[in-house]
Structure 1
Amino acid sequence: MDVLRAIRHLLAPPWLLRRRFSPAVLEAIEAAIGETERLHRGEIRFVVEGGLDLGDLWRGVDARERAVEVFSRLRVWDTEENTGVLIYVQWLDRRVEIVADRGAAERIAPAHWAALCRGLEVAFRSGRCREGACEAVREVGRLLTEYFPARPDNPNELPDRPVLL
């Protein structure tokens, strides 16, 4: 277990995350998700997590492992065409991970997801939370539109509202 990481996670106040991701920022991300989902058959979820719990820290859970767990817990995989995509932000570790369900993962190269993650991390480091998050959502939407364009019957299968953990 990384002691400095554990201290950072266990002592971080909850308001720290809410300050960066205010209701206005969350509404902007939700609007971006809603706008882009009208153009494709995919589903996008956006999750930001502050501190991890002691058990996860003890086991050395990294952002990728946690993203896969959140993907499952939020049932992002539960879409008809398996086109769910999770954008997961581990705020205190300054890491972003994208987990794509098998339908999207078969068509969109991992390099696209990795580049989006690194770009969003840069935006966050420069203090552009709202802009960076919305740009990332739009870029995920662009990729999904390329491979899974909307049809006349295009149901919204998952909530668009971002989640703060």
Structure 2
Amino acid sequence: MNFWLYGEPDALWLLLESIATGAVVAYTFNKVSVLRRLLIPRWVQTSAVDTAAHATFSQENASLTKDRNAVMIYVSVLEGEVRLMPDIGVQQKLHEGKLGEIEGKLANAQSGDPTELLCDAIKQLGECCRDCFPIEADDVNELPDRPQIRLP
């Protein structure tokens, strides 16, 4: 077996070295999300976030509430994107501009503290929904009021 320092490289040595280098690079890109995000086109990331947000909304049975008044905020940390998923009842009672304004603030997380922006969005949604969907005596909380964290 000839090494580069000692003359012509052996074909088998080059093959093994290429496989090892490729494995290390693939492992690194797989484990470091920032590098993985650089390789995936933006439109693919956006499409994946949209699909995942709709799937999660469906899996959580959010559209099965009595008044169709569920709202889900979907945060994708890897892609750095947020989706506001209001149910049909919320869309009918709230102005599209108000929902767009809240989602726009969430989308511009670079302009401030993301945690603070998320808390402000939840507060704004609560105020809007309180006006449109007043609490009645027989109301039951049909969905959990806590974050659902799913790791890949």
Q: Give the TM-score range, shorter chain.
A: 0.5 to 0.7
Q: Normalising by structure 1, report the TM-score.
A: 0.59
Rate the CA distance shift 1:92–1:154 in 2: closer, same or farther, 3 A: same
Matches within 5 A, 1:32-111: 61-111=47-97
Q: Which whole-Å CA distance do the structure 2 matches of 1:105 and 1:121 have between them?
A: 19
- For 1:42, the equivalent position in structure 2 comes to none
Q: Which whole-Å CA distance do the structure 2 matches of 1:76 and 1:137 have between them?
A: 16
Runs of 4+ in 1 over 6 A off after TM superposition: 57-60
1:83-132 Cα offsets, whole Å, 9 max, x none, are: 1111111222222111111111111133222221221232x324523322
Rate the CA distance shift 1:118–1:10 in 2: closer, same or farther, 3 A: farther
Q: Give the strand-richer structure, 1 or 2.
A: 1
Indicate conservation of the 8 Å contact 1:96/1:118, yes or no.
Answer: no
Q: Specify the SS of the correspondent of 1:164.
A: coil
Pair 1:128-2:92 in alignment: no
- For 2:122, the equivalent position in structure 1 comes to 137
Q: Give the helix-richer structure, 1 or 2.
A: 2
Q: Specify the SS of the correspondent of 2:136.
A: coil
Indicate conservation of the 8 Å contact 2:106/2:121, yes or no.
Answer: yes
Pair 1:114-2:100 in alignment: yes
Q: Which runs of 5+ in 2 are unaligned?
A: 1-26, 38-42
Q: Which has the higher contact order (CA 8 A, sep 6+)?
A: 1
Q: Specify the SS of the correspondent of 1:158.
A: coil
Letter in 2 for 1:89: V
- For 1:162, the equivalent position in structure 2 comes to 147
Q: Which whole-Å CA distance do the structure 1 matches of 2:60 and 2:66 have between them?
A: 15
Q: Normalising by structure 2, report the TM-score.
A: 0.64
Letter in 1 for 2:122: V
Q: Sequence identity, in percent?
A: 25
- For 1:147, the equivalent position in structure 2 comes to 132
Q: Specify the SS of the correspondent of 1:93.
A: coil
Pair 1:11-2:18 in alignment: no
Calculate the aligned-residue CA RMSD, in Å. Answer: 3.1
Q: Select the structure of larger CA radius of gyration.
A: 2
